Chains A and B, each alone.
Chain A
Amino acid sequence: MEIVVCLKQVVDPELPSQEFAIDPASRRQVRAGKALVISTYDENALEVALQLKDAGAASAVTALTVAPAAEAKDAVRLALAMGADKAVVVDDPRAALLLGAEKAALLAAALRRIGSFDLVLTGCESADWVERVLAPLLAEALDASCVTFVSRVEAGTGRVTARRLADDGVHTVEARLPAVVSVTSDEGNRPRLPKIRDIMQAGKKPVETVPVAELTDLPAALRETGVEVREVVVPQRTTTCEFLEGEPAEQAAALVQRLRALKVV
């Protein structure tokens, strides 16, 4: 089984709020000078792929990303150091402006160009726009089966068994290959830390860069999205916190008094 994992780089979502700003011109987060990381769940998706490879169920794992080529270097190096066999970078200077459907169009075209894959893994959502559309759109574009919010994947013959974390518990889903599966985190797919030796060897692994202009075979359904970002605003928090001081018993008494006054308890 060959696996392709889609990775996205985002401004580190753990950065403190003071470092968060919206650029009014692009209506996107200010990226310049900020630390970029692989979007949270994308690393879990890569880990799931690598576990399938470790178990002998996958023959090759390819990391695929759409980004300005220079900006993608760190993410690509980390993915290769973690254990991906090769990387494909769709070099697109406008990548950070693309919404999910536009990104899905490019990724679908890139996957068709890669050609050989049985399973495509993505994160269940990106840490920035949280649209949760990539896996379902790719599944449609590639005529593949689709399962989202999956924490574990087991390989079978011509299919995978996915453990989907659902609103009402855990679903077991049998999906035919090819399949596109989005991955959420759990204790079993925590991303591995590469060893020094892995990091050294990552530099020798193949990285293919594809100029975005070469991807012309975009799915018709995703060409005109009909959606534009009109405004992005940071809501002003009006709450001011009243700190209740003292020993724990005094703090507790003060809180109960206030909650009773508000008729909350």
Chain B
Amino acid sequence: MPRILVVASALDGTLGRSALELLGGARALAGDGGAEVVAALLAPRMIDGAAETLGRHGAAWVVQVSDAALSVGQTDAALIAVEAVMTRVEPDVVLVAADTVGRELAPRLAFRRQAALVTEAMELRMDGPAILARRQVYGGRAMATLAVTKRPAVISVKPRSFDAPEPADAAGRTESLEVAIQAAGLKAVVTGVAAEAAEVGLEEAQIVISGGRGVGGAEGFKLLHTLAELLGGAVGSSRPPADEGWVPISWQIGQTGKTIRPNLYVAVGISGAAQHVAGVSGARTIVAINRDNQAPIFSLAHFGLVGDYRQIVPSLTAKLKELKST
């Protein structure tokens, strides 16, 4: 039975959703054949209940490494810790979340372990002895299936690709592993973290109103914000507004940026470049508001409103307000 190591990174002191998603990925990869799933829990200190949570979501064995050097953004420290866990666990496959640290960690780990490497996987399954990993390529215009024959394999998983497994009673065994991380020996060190005015819960929001170049400036995003607020949703953007500085970078949705799966996605003044579409293709209902009736976004949208968003968006807000008050 293959052994799958999931890197549960809790560098900010909390166990996030991504670790549980990786356990979902491990389960998909194990398939009917089964696998022994191990979690490496990396955190600056012991976190109450974290190992237990991992156990309930499918980790049969949790190896926790707690060290003050394992703090936000600290890839060099995380790399040392995961290497140590790999030596202890000897996994066939390592799953890493493709987040800020994971994107640096996965290739470096693969290099050090002479492992096969696949990044940003969205689907995983076994096909005989090969792991099949599917991922977006060409800015989301195509899907590639990669066959991985070498072991160990390090695979980074794109956020929101897997659901967390349903929790069960059976908690796995837990052990602590001491790893000597010499802070002075790290080559790259995070010396400052400025949490941006991140649009609260963009990734969790069930309704997202998003603006593109067609919004024209920071001013226009206020109209989007009013609508989002009324619907209890969040505001996002495609790449141009983030590049232009109209909105914070953390609002950006797409290949570069966040991947979201809301119930409703309203794209305002967004042309629909493949790069952006890659981040929203999981949305259930997509509405596009654009002046150009030939904009590629309409080929993805369920409902299209051709016209000036400066008139359409306030009309929508007014109509919804009217409904709320009745």
A residues at B contact (CB < 8 Å): 13-14, 16-17, 20, 22, 27, 29, 100-101, 124-125, 127-133, 136-137, 139-141, 144-149, 161, 164-176, 179, 184-187, 190, 219-222, 224-235, 237, 239, 241-244, 248-249, 251-253, 255-256, 258-260, 262, 264-265
Contacts and interface: CB of A to CB of B under 8 A. Distances in A.
Given A233-B143, A239-B299, A248 B308 contact: yes
Contact of A168 (B103, B105, B198): B198
B138 A128 contact: yes
A252 B187 contact: no
A140 B191 CA distance: 22
Q: How large is the interface on B (under 10, 10 to 19, 20 to 34, 35 or more residues)?
A: 35 or more
Interface in B143-201: 143-151, 153, 187-196, 198
A148 B264 contact: no
B308 to A, nearest CB: 7
A173 to B, nearest CB: 5
A183 B76 CA distance: 19
B189 A252 contact: no
B8 to A, nearest CB: 16
Closest 4 CB pairs between A and B? A226-B150, A172-B192, A145-B187, A252-B315
B148 A248 contact: no
A7 B239 CA distance: 21
Contacts of B100: 149, 164, 166-168, 171
A226 B307 contact: no
- Residue among B72, B138, B305 with the most chain A CB within 10 A? B138
A229 B288 CA distance: 34
A-side binding surface: helix, strand, loop or mixed? mixed
29 contacts: A13-B139, A13-B274, A17-B299, A29-B142, A100-B117, A130-B255, A133-B117, A141-B111, A146-B108, A147-B104, A148-B103, A165-B249, A169-B196, A171-B190, A176-B187, A179-B188, A184-B256, A186-B243, A226-B153, A228-B146, A229-B146, A232-B145, A233-B145, A234-B141, A241-B301, A244-B303, A244-B304, A244-B305, A248-B311
Interface string B250-292: 1000011010000110000000011100000000111110000
B73 interface: yes
A132 B119 contact: yes
A172 B191 CA distance: 6
Interface stretch (B44-52, B61-69, B84-92, B318-326): B318-326
Interface in B69-115: 72-73, 75-76, 98-100, 103-108, 110-112, 114
A144 B244 CA distance: 32
B128 interface: no
A140 B188 contact: no
B103 A164 contact: no
Given A101-B117, A241-B299, A225 B312 contact: no
A265 to B, nearest CB: 6
Contacts of B106: 133, 136
Contacts of B190: 171-173
Given A164-B73, A227-B148, A29 B117 contact: no
A262 B111 contact: no
B41 interface: no
B137 interface: yes
B-side binding surface: helix, strand, loop or mixed? mixed
B6 interface: no
Contacts, number: 269
B207 interface: yes
Contact of B136 (A17, A130, A144, A253): A130
A146 B137 contact: no
Contacts of A161: 191
B12 interface: yes
Contacts of A13: 138-139, 273-275
Contacts of B306: 243
Contacts of A100: 107, 117, 119
B89 to A, nearest CB: 20
A234 B142 contact: yes
A132 B187 contact: no
B300 interface: yes
B243 A187 contact: yes
Contact of A251 (B104, B142, B149, B315): B315
A101 B116 CA distance: 9
A249 B311 CA distance: 8
A260 B263 CA distance: 12
B188 A147 contact: yes
Contact of A226 (B144, B149, B285): B149
A251 B312 contact: yes
